[in-house]
Amino acid sequence: MNLNLLADQHSAPVTHVGQRILWTVVTVAVLAGIYLLMWRGWKKRQARQADVPPLNEVPEGAFSGEGVEAVYVSSTSEGDWLDRIAVHGLGERSNALVRVAAQGVLIEREGASDVFIPAAALRGVRLATGMAGKYLRDEGLVVITWQHGDRTLDTGLKPRFGTDELVQALEAHFAVSATERPSE
Protein backbone atom coordinates (compact mmCIF):
# COMPACT_ATOMS: atom_id res chain seq x y z
CA MET A 1 0.00 0.00 0.00
CA ASN A 2 1.34 3.37 -0.92
CA LEU A 3 1.28 5.56 2.20
CA ASN A 4 2.43 8.56 0.23
CA LEU A 5 -0.96 8.84 -1.49
CA LEU A 6 -2.83 8.84 1.81
CA ALA A 7 -0.69 11.57 3.28
CA ASP A 8 -1.12 13.79 0.21
CA GLN A 9 -4.95 13.93 0.19
CA HIS A 10 -6.49 17.33 -0.18
CA SER A 11 -9.55 18.65 -1.91
CA ALA A 12 -9.34 20.49 -5.16
CA PRO A 13 -9.77 24.23 -4.93
CA VAL A 14 -13.26 25.50 -5.81
CA THR A 15 -13.00 27.64 -8.89
CA HIS A 16 -15.44 29.64 -10.93
CA VAL A 17 -18.12 29.76 -8.24
CA GLY A 18 -19.73 32.71 -10.00
CA GLN A 19 -20.04 30.78 -13.26
CA ARG A 20 -21.57 27.79 -11.52
CA ILE A 21 -24.13 29.96 -9.78
CA LEU A 22 -24.90 31.75 -13.06
CA TRP A 23 -25.47 28.47 -14.93
CA THR A 24 -27.64 27.17 -12.10
CA VAL A 25 -29.79 30.33 -12.19
CA VAL A 26 -30.05 30.17 -16.00
CA THR A 27 -31.10 26.49 -15.89
CA VAL A 28 -33.74 27.15 -13.21
CA ALA A 29 -35.04 30.17 -15.19
CA VAL A 30 -35.31 28.14 -18.41
CA LEU A 31 -37.16 25.31 -16.62
CA ALA A 32 -39.50 27.82 -14.94
CA GLY A 33 -40.14 29.46 -18.33
CA ILE A 34 -40.99 26.13 -19.93
CA TYR A 35 -43.37 25.29 -17.07
CA LEU A 36 -45.00 28.74 -17.35
CA LEU A 37 -45.54 28.30 -21.10
CA MET A 38 -47.08 24.84 -20.55
CA TRP A 39 -49.40 26.24 -17.85
CA ARG A 40 -50.38 29.16 -20.10
CA GLY A 41 -51.13 26.76 -22.99
CA TRP A 42 -53.34 24.63 -20.72
CA LYS A 43 -55.25 27.73 -19.56
CA LYS A 44 -55.78 28.86 -23.17
CA ARG A 45 -57.03 25.37 -24.06
CA GLN A 46 -59.51 25.59 -21.17
CA ALA A 47 -60.72 28.97 -22.44
CA ARG A 48 -61.19 27.58 -25.97
CA GLN A 49 -63.20 24.67 -24.55
CA ALA A 50 -65.48 26.76 -22.34
CA ASP A 51 -68.46 25.60 -24.44
CA VAL A 52 -68.14 22.04 -23.09
CA PRO A 53 -71.04 21.65 -20.62
CA PRO A 54 -70.52 20.41 -17.05
CA LEU A 55 -70.49 16.66 -16.50
CA ASN A 56 -73.81 14.81 -16.23
CA GLU A 57 -75.25 14.02 -12.81
CA VAL A 58 -75.08 10.36 -11.79
CA PRO A 59 -78.57 8.86 -11.23
CA GLU A 60 -79.12 7.70 -7.65
CA GLY A 61 -78.82 3.94 -7.13
CA ALA A 62 -78.41 3.18 -10.84
CA PHE A 63 -74.98 1.59 -10.53
CA SER A 64 -74.20 -1.22 -8.12
CA GLY A 65 -72.22 -4.41 -8.11
CA GLU A 66 -68.91 -5.16 -9.70
CA GLY A 67 -67.08 -2.89 -12.07
CA VAL A 68 -63.97 -3.14 -14.21
CA GLU A 69 -60.75 -1.61 -12.87
CA ALA A 70 -59.12 0.65 -15.43
CA VAL A 71 -57.00 3.73 -15.93
CA TYR A 72 -58.98 6.70 -17.20
CA VAL A 73 -56.59 8.08 -19.83
CA SER A 74 -58.37 11.22 -21.03
CA SER A 75 -61.21 12.53 -23.14
CA THR A 76 -60.52 14.12 -26.52
CA SER A 77 -62.53 15.60 -29.36
CA GLU A 78 -63.89 12.82 -31.55
CA GLY A 79 -61.39 11.70 -34.16
CA ASP A 80 -58.59 13.96 -32.87
CA TRP A 81 -56.67 11.77 -30.44
CA LEU A 82 -54.35 14.66 -29.44
CA ASP A 83 -57.03 17.30 -28.70
CA ARG A 84 -57.36 16.60 -24.98
CA ILE A 85 -60.39 18.16 -23.29
CA ALA A 86 -59.01 20.35 -20.49
CA VAL A 87 -62.23 21.46 -18.76
CA HIS A 88 -64.21 19.74 -15.99
CA GLY A 89 -61.29 17.43 -15.22
CA LEU A 90 -61.79 15.42 -18.43
CA GLY A 91 -58.11 15.71 -19.31
CA GLU A 92 -56.83 14.37 -15.98
CA ARG A 93 -55.51 10.82 -15.93
CA SER A 94 -56.58 8.71 -12.94
CA ASN A 95 -57.39 5.23 -11.70
CA ALA A 96 -61.03 4.36 -12.27
CA LEU A 97 -63.76 1.80 -11.78
CA VAL A 98 -66.01 1.45 -14.84
CA ARG A 99 -69.61 0.32 -14.33
CA VAL A 100 -72.08 -0.41 -17.14
CA ALA A 101 -75.85 -0.39 -16.54
CA ALA A 102 -79.08 0.26 -18.43
CA GLN A 103 -78.80 3.98 -17.67
CA GLY A 104 -75.34 4.27 -19.24
CA VAL A 105 -71.68 4.08 -18.28
CA LEU A 106 -70.25 5.38 -15.01
CA ILE A 107 -66.52 6.01 -14.70
CA GLU A 108 -65.72 6.45 -11.00
CA ARG A 109 -62.35 8.21 -10.89
CA GLU A 110 -59.95 8.51 -7.97
CA GLY A 111 -59.09 12.12 -7.19
CA ALA A 112 -61.34 13.52 -9.92
CA SER A 113 -65.05 13.90 -10.56
CA ASP A 114 -66.95 10.89 -11.87
CA VAL A 115 -67.92 10.76 -15.55
CA PHE A 116 -71.45 9.56 -16.32
CA ILE A 117 -72.27 8.81 -19.95
CA PRO A 118 -76.04 8.37 -20.45
CA ALA A 119 -77.09 5.45 -22.66
CA ALA A 120 -78.69 7.81 -25.18
CA ALA A 121 -75.37 9.66 -25.57
CA LEU A 122 -73.31 6.56 -26.51
CA ARG A 123 -72.17 6.61 -30.13
CA GLY A 124 -69.67 3.75 -30.31
CA VAL A 125 -66.99 1.61 -28.73
CA ARG A 126 -63.69 0.65 -30.32
CA LEU A 127 -60.17 -0.50 -29.50
CA ALA A 128 -57.24 1.82 -30.22
CA THR A 129 -53.50 1.93 -29.74
CA GLY A 130 -53.43 5.37 -28.18
CA MET A 131 -54.74 8.83 -27.46
CA ALA A 132 -53.50 11.91 -25.58
CA GLY A 133 -51.87 10.62 -22.42
CA LYS A 134 -51.27 6.97 -23.38
CA TYR A 135 -49.90 5.00 -26.30
CA LEU A 136 -49.71 1.19 -26.48
CA ARG A 137 -48.06 -1.29 -28.81
CA ASP A 138 -51.29 -3.16 -29.43
CA GLU A 139 -54.95 -2.19 -29.38
CA GLY A 140 -55.50 -2.35 -25.63
CA LEU A 141 -57.17 1.03 -25.14
CA VAL A 142 -60.99 1.01 -25.01
CA VAL A 143 -62.37 4.21 -26.57
CA ILE A 144 -65.98 5.19 -25.90
CA THR A 145 -67.43 7.75 -28.32
CA TRP A 146 -70.27 9.79 -26.84
CA GLN A 147 -72.23 13.00 -27.32
CA HIS A 148 -71.82 15.68 -24.63
CA GLY A 149 -73.78 18.81 -25.41
CA ASP A 150 -72.82 19.97 -28.91
CA ARG A 151 -69.53 18.04 -28.86
CA THR A 152 -68.76 14.43 -29.62
CA LEU A 153 -66.01 13.11 -27.36
CA ASP A 154 -63.75 10.06 -27.27
CA THR A 155 -62.98 8.79 -23.77
CA GLY A 156 -60.07 6.38 -23.38
CA LEU A 157 -59.84 3.64 -20.75
CA LYS A 158 -57.04 1.13 -20.22
CA PRO A 159 -58.47 -1.87 -18.33
CA ARG A 160 -56.09 -3.29 -15.71
CA PHE A 161 -56.78 -6.96 -16.49
CA GLY A 162 -57.46 -7.23 -20.21
CA THR A 163 -60.01 -5.51 -22.36
CA ASP A 164 -62.45 -8.35 -23.07
CA GLU A 165 -64.73 -7.95 -20.06
CA LEU A 166 -65.14 -4.19 -20.53
CA VAL A 167 -65.53 -4.37 -24.31
CA GLN A 168 -68.19 -7.10 -24.05
CA ALA A 169 -70.16 -5.15 -21.45
CA LEU A 170 -69.98 -1.96 -23.50
CA GLU A 171 -70.86 -3.66 -26.80
CA ALA A 172 -73.86 -5.40 -25.21
CA HIS A 173 -75.00 -2.11 -23.70
CA PHE A 174 -74.36 -0.17 -26.88
CA ALA A 175 -76.33 -2.65 -28.99
CA VAL A 176 -79.34 -2.19 -26.68
CA SER A 177 -79.16 1.62 -26.68
CA ALA A 178 -78.47 1.78 -30.44
CA THR A 179 -81.81 0.11 -31.21
CA GLU A 180 -83.60 2.57 -28.95
CA ARG A 181 -81.96 5.63 -30.49
CA PRO A 182 -83.46 7.07 -33.65
CA SER A 183 -81.18 6.56 -36.65
CA GLU A 184 -79.05 9.53 -37.57
Domain ranges of the chain: 68-180
pLDDT of residue 7: 59
Tell me the whole-structure pTM to 2 decimals.
0.74
Evaluate whether 92 touches 75 at the Cβ level (below 8 Å). no
End-to-end CA distance of the chain: 88
pLDDT of residue 179: 28
Say which CATH class 68-180 falls into: mainly beta
Q: What is the mean pLDDT of each run of 10 residues along the chain (184 residues)?
A: 60 77 96 96 87 86 82 90 86 91 90 90 86 78 90 92 80 52 32
Q: Quote the pLDDT of residue 156.
A: 92
Half-sphere exposure of 86 (CA within 13 A, CB side): 15
pLDDT at 84: 87
- Is residue 183 exposed (0-12), middle (13-18) or buried (19+ Cβ within 10 Å)? exposed
